[in-house]
Amino acid sequence: MQIEEDAVDGELQLESAADVALYGRVWDALNEAAAYRQHAHRLIARARTQVQPA
């Protein structure tokens, strides 16, 4: 089995069920760590104030 997936920085080739399972676990972990909606907006606004000159 070989699955090709386009990624942000290239192409992934998942060649086994274990590869697919690992990719799924990593994706789930990233999804849980991500910020969405208002929380994401607040984080971005806070970061912008820290990097923009006064």
Q: Give the pLDDT confidence score for residue 8 in this predicted structure.
A: 66
Q: What is the pLDDT of residue 23?
A: 87
Predicted confidence (pLDDT) at residue 41 exceeds the cutoff of 90: yes
Which of 8-12, 17-21, 33-37 is the most confident on average?
Answer: 33-37
pTM, full prediction = 0.57
Other C-beta atoms closer than 10 Å to the C-beta of 20 total 14
Q: Write the pLDDT tens digit of every residue in 18-33.
A: 988 998 999 999 999 9
